[in-house]
Chain A
Amino acid sequence: NAGVTQTPKFRVLKTGQSMTLLCAQDMNHEYMYWYRQDPGMGLRLIHYSVGEGTTAKGEVPDGYNVSRLKKQNFLLGLESAAPSQTSVYFCASKEDSNTGELFFGEGSRLTVL
């Protein structure tokens, strides 16, 4: 019962480096989301996708890009990492239903030095 899987779980980057976080879900969900979690701020939506090939901006999209080439995968990219992007990143997915709940991955802790 994998659910939502995020890789990697931990990563340390230097300022200016690039990286990609991968989110994979095996529930055939249409909707997928990337959130970042910072102390005292709860979770803030970065980008989301309502289906394969579609993406949209959330509350805090600057400095991030995403792609949804396959329905089960949602990638979050940092082209030039900054210390302000040090955070814990959570991926979530949801079925295309008005009452469906979000299922979360276990998070990816990213540190930018």
Chain B
Amino acid sequence: AQSVTQPDIHITVSEGASLELRCNYSYGATPYLFWYVQSPGQGLQLLLKYFSGDTLVQGIKGFEAEFKRSQSSFNLRKPSVHWSDAAEYFCAVRLSGGYNKLIFGAGTRLAVHP
């Protein structure tokens, strides 16, 4: 069955430090991959997506992610974290066919220390 794993439940970084959030997926076909961010009390906002082509994708708010087929990974990165990046981050895979349903990981909660 298709699944998305985010190994880190909580991550704490200092403001200005670099960030990498891990995401692994299990899916037989070429996946469509997404990263969403959820601020407290808010809905989910799309950060970036990968469908095909260049495996390094740029998103909003200075985030990027790299698709590595050999590792079944789609890790999210940011070179310098800002306090406003504190939120919960969700990786998701969309199933082709099956009416475009998204399967989400459990999420990683990011805390940023000043």
Q: Which residues of A contact B (CB under 8 A)?
A: 4, 31, 33, 35, 40-45, 48, 50, 56, 58, 90, 92, 94, 98-102, 104-107
Whether A41 and B106, one on each chain, are in contact in the complex, defined by CB atoms closer than 8 angstroms, is yes
**A40, A43, A48: the one within 8 Å of B99 (CB):** A48
Name the B residues within 8 Å of A41 (CB-CB): 106
Q: In this assembly, does B31 line the interface, its C-beta being within 8 Å of a C-beta of chain A?
A: no
What are 11 A-B contacts with C-beta separation under 8 Å?
A42-B105, A50-B99, A56-B99, A90-B44, A92-B44, A94-B100, A100-B100, A101-B34, A102-B44, A104-B43, A106-B42
**A33, A100, A101: the one within 8 Å of B101 (CB):** A33
Q: Which residues of B contact A (CB under 8 A)?
A: 4, 6, 9, 32, 34, 36, 41-46, 49, 51, 90, 99-107
Whether B46 and A102, one on each chain, are in contact in the complex, defined by CB atoms closer than 8 angstroms, is yes
CB distance from A9 to the nearest CB of B (A): 10
Name the A residues within 8 Å of B100 (CB-CB): 31, 94, 98, 100
Whether B101 and A48, one on each chain, are in contact in the complex, defined by CB atoms closer than 8 angstroms, is yes
The closest CB in chain B to the CB of A40 belongs to B106
Whether B106 and A104, one on each chain, are in contact in the complex, defined by CB atoms closer than 8 angstroms, is no
Name the B residues within 8 Å of A58 (CB-CB): 101
Q: How far is the CA of A107 from the CA of B9 in the complex (A)?
A: 21
The closest CB in chain B to the CB of A56 belongs to B99
Extra contacts, 7 of them, besides A42-B4, A43-B44, A107-B41 (Cβ < 8 A), are: A40-B106, A48-B101, A50-B99, A98-B100, A99-B51, A101-B34, A104-B44
